[in-house]
Amino acid sequence: MTDRREIERIVGAALDEDAPWGDLTSETLIPAAATATAELVAREPGVLSGIEVFAAAFRLVEARTVLDRLAADGEHFTAGQTLARVTGPARGILTAERVALNLVQRMSGVATLTARYVAAVAGTRARIVDTRKTTPGLRSLERQAVRDGGGRNHRRSLSDAIMAKDNHLAVLTAGGQDLATALRAARERMPHTAHLEVEVDRLDQLDAVLAGGADTIMLDNFDLAALREGVARIGGRAVVEASGGVSLDTVGDIAATGVDVISVGALTHSARALDLGLDVVIETSDAREGR
């Protein structure tokens, strides 16, 4: 689960963006003493992610709100199912509503799409992982959503691992450096706890990358036959990752080639926000009478 401080930082920034000087509508129309109960209801089936983020939006606006969690992150739900119930001062609920929904809809969309990819590779050795193709500012939440959908996380940031991609290799080779020698030199400089991954787009790069001591080799945009050959040539000497051209239609066949990891940018950059709604179900007498 994402750290509470990180959740509050992200949610706080979203609330500041949405109501920088307060909620003019609620403060003008809704009596200060009014209370309400609202339910988070699924308009379509999916996988829940972000219930703590949803709760934080209401808590940060109004500490007196109470959230009743009726479903847990990672739980599959059906259309019409009530996922949570929030009770408290009506102004606070109305002020936090949009930010709370935006985030839980986004996260649940990522989790739901991830779960479909995970189901598509069931029975194979392949793990579905995300990429850094995340929404700026929301990486922590989207990575959690991938986990809630049954997927795994790739490196969090550029600071977490050495990952030599095609442009890195182009710069190295343009300078006349031998790839295997450059990779071995990098291993000498990197911390002993770090991981070295190298992306290749041709089979004839494999010998140099293996000689350089790569921990993971990414086979980028390989067809199925080339993936099978790559797995055989690597022969367990490195983790084999497939990337590029991955969709729900192709991921099962890619997994069947024997790769260890399939990285899918679409999990975060193409996930559709799930249709969830917040419906006020109870309005107290204080609100009705304007007290």
Instruction: State the catalytic residues.
Output: 98, 133, 165, 199, 220
Rounded to whole angstroms, the Cα distance separating 44 from 186 reads 49
Q: Calculate the alpha carbon distances from 182 to 27, 167, 176, 204 in Å.
A: 63, 14, 10, 17
Q: Do β-strands 76-77 and 46-47 pair in parallel, antiparallel, or remain unpaired?
A: antiparallel
Which of 208-221 are b and which e, b meaning 16 or more Cβ less than 10 Å from the residue's Cβ?
bbbebbbebbbbbe
Nearest to 65 by CA among 88, 92, 84: 88
What is the helix (H) or strand (E) element at residue 69, kind and residue range?
strand 66-69
Write down the residue that tokens 């049954």 correspond to.
Answer: 150
Q: Residue 247: which H helix or E strand, with range? A: none
β-partners of residue 162 are 196
Strands 239-243 vs 261-263: parallel, antiparallel or unpaired: parallel
Question: Is 165 in a helix, a strand, or coil?
Answer: coil
- Nearest Cα to 142, choosing from 50, 71, 51? 50
Distance CA 98, CA 278 (A): 9
Q: How many CB atoms lie within 10 A of CB 88?
A: 21
Closest by CA position to 53, among listed 138, 125, 168, 170: 138
Q: What is the DSSP letter of 182?
A: H
